[in-house]
Amino acid sequence: MAQPATPQTIDPQSAADPVLSARPENRVWKKFRSHKSAMLGGFLVGFFILMALMAPILPIPDPVATDWGAVRKAPSAAHPFGTDEIGRDVLSRLVWGARASLMAGVVSVGIALLAGVPLGILAGYFGGWTDSVISRCTEALLAAPFLILAIALAAFLGPSLGNAMIAIGLSATPIFIRLTRGQVISVKAEDYVEGAHATGLPTHRILTRYIFPNILPPVLVQATLTIATAIIAEASLSFLGLGQQPPAPSWGSMLNTAKNFLSQAPWMALWPGIAIFLVVLGFNLLGDGLRDALDPREH
Amino acid sequence: MSDVILRATGLRKHFRTGGGMFARQSTVRAVDGVTLDVRRGETFAIVGESGCGKSTLARLLMRLLEPTDGRIDFDGRDISDLKGRDLRDLRREMQFIFQDPFSSLNPRMSVGRLVAEPLETHHPQMGREERREEVARLLGIVGLRPEHADRYPHEFSGGQRQRIGIARALASRPRLVIGDEPVSALDVSVQAQVVNLLHDLKAEFDMTLVIIAHDLAVIRHMSDRVAVMYLGQIVETGTTDDIFAHPRHPYTMALLSAIPEPVHGRARTRLALSGETPSPANPPSGCRFHTRCPFAREDCAQRVPELRPAGPGGQHAACHYWEEIAAERPDAGTPPAHERKPQAAARFALYEAAIDRLNDRPETAVNAGANDMTQQEEDRR
């Protein structure tokens, strides 16, 4: 084959397509914006977060103030969502309860990420006996159902919202260990990681600059979806009396008391139920949308 | 010998595969006893078909893989057992260019950071501003522009990405660069640009180049010496001119006869090989090439050939019968690159002038012209 006579100059300027010249983050955002259900999820989540943040300044009664003159009243102008068995405003408890639920979801997933991602990276990157020890422990934890494990841990730690978060976080950790480990193993085999070795980068740099950013997208998606699971778990623990302690409001504990009055005061159960449903739906839609937006195959 | 910059002695790499509960474990002898010298300042090419172990060899030479056996000396120092800090320091001297420019750059780092990274690692005393200037200079050297530093790899074409890879490899000022098929993933026109770039940089930076390739045309253009690999072993080595003019090993002959020649009306007997490459997990006995060699004799299956002198210019071939085969096939080589006729030369000059004018135009414009040429070449086959 004759070498085509080519000049010693270069690929002229930018071959970059103007449409593609956006940073990866921008393209993800653009794609996310066009995803209708993801936007709905984002809206729901945003709504509840806003509600939780604004609880102190909203014109609602004190969530723990009792009123013996208004016990188990049906929704009315004074109490739009009704009152509970000791005359507390259900709307107010719902708004304040969002704080417990969202906190529980975010903090427990935060705990799971902090514990799971580093362990997963260790197991996936170094392999060998490190991997064997971490993976066997992970599998042992995964053998127990998520909620049962959370209940057992919460019971062991003692009933409080903080302990419930720790229990839920630890129960969710194995999911993140396993996900991270798998991602690290696949990213580790990429040419650019071998390139990092060839460049002579120290291990900590390879981990922080090459492995971590490239495993992040699926971990973020999983985190969003796990927040939904964690919110349900917190509600379950509170329902069982292992989470938020009375009189502080939480959706789970509101359901717990409401179950005794289902026929007389169904609104006591209805509102927290709807709230849990909507926030969980929101996080799930958000997670699905993120997964689609971050999917590199469709870039 | 001080003119040898890189020496491999009896290098072996065996991979174990399988070995599950029910599967029998087998050993793939990817590289099986390779000895070679790379001289300071030369371009040394390693050629062979896919699966012959040339990429594994490149990674062994780079110490990206641990050799099963054998020793590697860089600049007179045994580097086979370097670890940790020492190994990282070695990377300053030895750099690697990858085959696939699409997968070998971290997609989450900007070009500027990619090129700055070796500087941060190997020249930590360099200030931020100084480093930025050096990155801009490196980008300029490989034919990119300083403002490209803020972009991400996915915004570039294959040829441009390979230039980024080259800039990154050059950043630490290595004395030896090993390229694992650095142009085989690129368009033909861009291949030539990158080959020429490497050639110029080699002179400018006073480097030694080791190029792995399966394309002999690329090799001929840029290398001083060649080693031909078959099934994990070197079967022939010598200067590029010697190998192309009078190949001694039947495998080299077959490789050469597979190069299409852009000369009208020139008939040449092709030496076609039959059969598949044997598995390196279970290589043939004796001479590994005997199962496909058209000249194989009976004892080729028993006796293992060693590399032995096969010409005055330091050419060596691992074949028991190269003398007889050479007598039988005097036309096995390829003629030196032919002279252009005056009309053709004039046309090429016009083409080059036109390309110069296109400097600031997008790469696709250049590609379109080159693709036409490739098409014409294929028509002639």
Handedness of CA B106, B112, B113, B119 (dihedral sign): positive
Once rounded to an integer, what is the mean pLDDT over residues B173-185? 89
**Whether the predicted interface score ipTM is above 0.85:** no
Nearest in space to A251 (alpha carbons), one of A148, A40, A105: A105
> Is the pLDDT confidence value at B124 over 80?
yes
Dihedrals φ, ψ of B211, to 5°? -115, 125
A17: in domain: no
CA distances from A228 to A136, A222, B113 (A): 27, 10, 37
> Do residues B266 and B354 both lie within one domain?
no
Q: Which residues of B187-210 are buried (b: 16+ CB within 10 A; e: fewer)?
A: bbbbbbbbbbbbbebbeeeebbbb
Selecting from A1, A191, A200 the residue whose C-beta is nearest the C-beta of B104 gives A191
Residue B375 pLDDT > 70, yes or no?
Answer: no
pLDDT at B258 over 50: yes
pLDDT confidence of B334, banded at 50, 70, 90?
A: low
Which amino acid makes up residue B369?
G
Interface contact flag, B168 A190, Cβ < 8 Å: no
Q: What is the DSSP letter of B149?
A: G
| Alpha-carbon gap: A119 to the closest alpha carbon of chain B (Å) | 23
Total domain count, chain A: 1
In-domain check, residue B272? yes
B205 and B240 fall within a common domain: no
- Looking at the fold, whether B178 and B312 belong to one and the same domain comes out as no
User: What per-residue confidence (pLDDT) applies to A298?
Assistant: 46
Number of domains forming the structure of chain B: 3
Do residues B210 and B238 both lie within one domain? no
Instruction: Say what the pLDDT of residue A151 is.
Output: 93
pLDDT value of residue B332: 66
| Better-predicted residue by pLDDT, A177 or A250 | A177
Same domain, B103 and B45: yes
Q: Classify residue A89 by its DSSP letter.
A: B
> Is pLDDT at B72 greater than 70 in this prediction?
yes
Query: How far is the alpha carbon of A129 from chain B, nearest alpha carbon, in Å?
Result: 18
Does residue B218 share a domain with residue B316? no
pLDDT at B21: 64
Domain that holds residue A223: 34-55+80-298
Clarify whether residues B254 and B189 are in a common domain. Answer: no
Chain A residues in contact with B192 by the CB 8 A cut-off are: 3-4, 6
DSSP assignment of B168-228 equals HHHHT--SEEEEESTTTTS-HHHHHHHHHHHHHHHHHHT-EEEEEES-HHHHHHH-SEEEE
Least confident stretch, A236-240, B133-137, B267-271: B267-271
CATH number, residue A236:
1.10.3720.10
Residues 6+ apart with CB under 8 A from B315: B236, B237, B238, B239, B242, B243, B246, B248, B309
Q: Is the pLDDT of residue A249 over 60?
A: yes
pLDDT digits (tens, 9 = 90+) for A17-68: 443 444 666 777 887 888 888 899 999 999 999 999 988 888 888 888 777 7
User: For A214, which residue in chain B has the nearest alpha carbon?
Assistant: B108
Which one has a higher pLDDT value, A187 or A15?
A187
Average pLDDT over residues A242-259: 86
Residue B334 lies in a domain: no
In this prediction, residue A6 has a pLDDT band, given cuts at 50, 70 and 90, of very low
Range B153-164 average pLDDT: 89
| Shared-domain flag, residues B232 and B218 | no
State both tokens at A148. 């049962």
Q: Which of A4, A24, A200 sits opposite B370 (nearest CB)?
A: A4
Residue of B108, B160, B361 with shortest CB distance to A214: B108
Least confidently predicted of A35-39, A72-76, A113-117, B58-62:
A72-76
B336 occurs within a structural domain: no
Asked if A26 is an interface residue toward chain B (Cβ–Cβ < 8 A), one would say no
Question: Given this model, what pLDDT does residue B237 score?
Answer: 93
Residue B270 lies inside a defined structural domain of this protein: yes
Q: For residue B256, what pLDDT band results from cuts at 50, 70 and 90? A: confident
> Considering the domain boundaries, does residue B160 fall inside one?
yes
Q: Which residues pair with B12 in a beta bridge?
A: B32, B69
Each residue's pLDDT tens digit, B223-238: 899 999 999 899 999 9
Residue B335 pLDDT class (50, 70, 90 cuts): low
| d(CA A289, nearest CA chain B) in Å | 21
Exposed, middle or buried by CB within 10 Å (0-12, 13-18, 19+), for B274? Answer: exposed
Bridge partners for B211 per DSSP: B45, B179
- Asked if the structure places residue B13 within a domain, the reply is yes
Q: List chain B residues with CB under 8 Å of A186.
A: none
Q: How confident is residue B138, by pLDDT bands cut at 50, 70 and 90?
A: very high
- Cα dihedral across residues B116, B117, B123, B125: positive or negative: positive
pLDDT value, residue B364: 45
Instruction: Express each pLDDT in B18-54 by its tens digit.
Output: 666 666 778 888 888 899 999 999 999 999 888 888 8
Query: What distance in Å separates residue B251's CA from the closest CA in chain A?
Result: 20
Residue A257 has pLDDT above 50, yes or no: yes
- A140 within a domain of the structure (yes/no): yes
Q: How far is CA A21 from CA A15, A217, B104, B363, B366, in A?
A: 10, 20, 20, 16, 22
- Whether residue A83 contacts residue A90, with contact meaning beta carbons closer than 8 Å, is answered with yes
Q: To the nearest whole percent, how much of chain B has pLDDT over 90?
A: 25
Regarding whether B170 and B37 lie in a shared domain, the answer is: yes
- Asked if the structure places residue A124 within a domain, the reply is yes
Domain boundary among B166, B191, B223: B223
**pLDDT per position as a tens digit, B306-323:** 888 888 888 999 988 888
Instruction: Give a yes or no: residue A13 inside a domain.
Output: no
Q: Return d(Cα B299, Cα A148) in angstroms, integer.
A: 72
Cβ-based contacts of B90 with chain A (< 8 Å) = 200
Last residue of a domain, one of B194, B223, B252: B223
Least confident of A26-30, A140-144, A275-279: A26-30
- β-sheet with B316-317: strand ranges across: B94-97, B176-180, B208-213, B43-47, B225-230, B233-239, B316-317, B308-309
Cα separation, B336 vs B334, in Å, equals: 7
Give B336's pLDDT tier (boundaries 50, 70, 90): low
Tell whether B209 and B80 lie within a shared domain: yes
Q: Which residue has the higher pLDDT, B250 or B277?
A: B250
Residues B148, B40 share a domain: yes
Inside any domain, residue A264: yes
Least confident of A157-166, A272-281, B150-159, B347-356: B347-356
> Residue B189: its chain A contacts at CB < 8 A?
4, 6
Please report whether residue A64 resides in a domain.
Answer: no
Q: Which of A191, A199, A203, A195 is nearest to B170 (CA)?
A: A199
Which chain B residues are Cβ-neighbours of A24 within 8 angstroms?
Answer: 107-108, 152, 154
Q: Which domain holds residue B297?
A: 228-328
What are the tokens at B72?
């590697």
Q: Does residue B107 share a domain with residue B235? A: no
